Amino acid sequence: MNSVRGIRLSTCAAGIGYQGRDDLVLIELAAQTACAAVFTQNAFCAAPVTVAREHLRSGAVRYLMINAGNANAGTGSQGLRATRETCRLLAEAAGCKATQVLPFSTGVIGEDLPIDPFARALPELLSKLSEDNWEHAAQAIMTTDTRPKLASRTIQLKSGEVRLTGIAKGAGMICPDMATMLAYLATDAALPVLLAQQMLDTAVADSFNNITVDGDTSTNDACVLVASGESGAAISALESADGRAFLKGLNEVCAELAEAIVRDGEGATKLVRIRVESAADMAEARAVAYTVAHSPLVKTALFASDPNWGRILAAVGRAGIDQLAIERIRIWLGELCIVSAGGRDPGYTEAAGCAVMAGDEIQLRIDLDRGSAQVEILTCDLSYDYVKINAEYRS
């Protein structure tokens, strides 16, 4: 992992939601750092999302503070008071304004956020800040994740070399409507805030917003891009050569992190790429892709390595597409055509279908023959362990 000049991190075991492991992260930003973010569209957004949105508008962000184990969502006015108090405590200890702190939480919904662990942990966090703590931070923000998720790039610009590093967490309650559960991206390039936001929105649309594990959008989803400018390499426009080069790197990092989330889906055994082609528009393409991806019958067939193509056909048919000409639709498992002319393709065999489904990576390709729009989303299968993990989540 590349360290990022102007960005320092620290972690500690605060006992907020876990015992015997780090569960609180502090990220310090250089004074001139530009900060862009996107947040969940869930109406029951968590208290830290509400406060982070408010503080982001004030500008001059100096700290990101993330706790794991307690989502501080569904906690009403008490949750807002607790979040604001944690920001005040950090501001007092660090010598900044409370509005310069963006708070984030992940974990169990509906439980009050304790304040005392923050007060006890802040001196340790401030004393341990280092540019080299990215891996520790990736581990500390985990909940049901089985492994940390990190990605890093070095990008060569005309004005110099810049670094881009990102971490993310997420394994369940993944169907983002902006980003993922939590993701943090940092660069030492110099970016104006509006350009950073434009780039983040673009990168998120084709990565974190194209994944689903279980169809549930979290109350706490957030994705943040910070640009310290410490490299001295400045990007002024998206259309410039440097702007395109940086966006390419940002897209790659976001895509890598998004795929890592799906690969680590709760109980997942298969990574599944669902590609819808020749749709009338993007809305139609996404509707078909997500209907297939969210079908419990399709997902359990994938887990069983059962080429039950009828489940896929049925999901496409109920995606709500007007005047769908079923005789023109073709569906493939990998390179194997399974549906054409309104039914099973004449060249399909069960043995060939089983061979494709036995892999740990599977592509479903659906050609609607209605236009030129296309989309690819990533999902996973639905296993026994998904039910077990979520049934026992609060046990």
Number of other CB atoms surrounding residue 337 within 10 Å: 18
Region label for 181, one of left (φ > 0), alpha (ψ between -120 and 50) or beta (otherwise): alpha
Pairing of strands 343-344, 336-340: antiparallel
71, HSE (Cβ side, Cα atoms, 13 Å):
22
Q: What angle do CA 328, 214, 222 make, to 5 degrees?
A: 115
The alpha carbon of residue 84 and the mean position of all alpha carbons in its chain are separated, in whole angstroms, by 25
Which tokens is 383 given?
Answer: 């296993």
Length of the chain: 395
Q: Which residues pair with 344 in a beta bridge?
A: 339
Q: Which residues pair with 12 in a beta bridge?
A: 24
| Residue 219 known to be catalytic | no
Instruction: Name the nearest CA neighbour of 369 among 316, 315, 309, 299.
Output: 316
Sign of CA dihedral 1, 178, 295, 349: negative
Inter-residue contact 26 to 64 (CB < 8 Å): yes
Inter-residue contact 343 to 225 (CB < 8 Å): no
Inter-residue contact 207 to 261 (CB < 8 Å): no
Single-letter code of the amino acid located at 141: I
Pairing of strands 34-39, 222-227: antiparallel
| b/e code 26-52 from CB counts within 10 Å (16+ = b) | bbbbbeebbbbbbbbebeebbbbbbbb
Residue of 99, 165, 180, 219 with catalytic role: 180
386, HSE (Cβ side, Cα atoms, 13 Å):
21
Q: In whole angstroms, how far apart are CA 233 and each of 70, 159, 206, 224?
A: 39, 5, 26, 20
Residues with a catalytic annotation lie at: 180
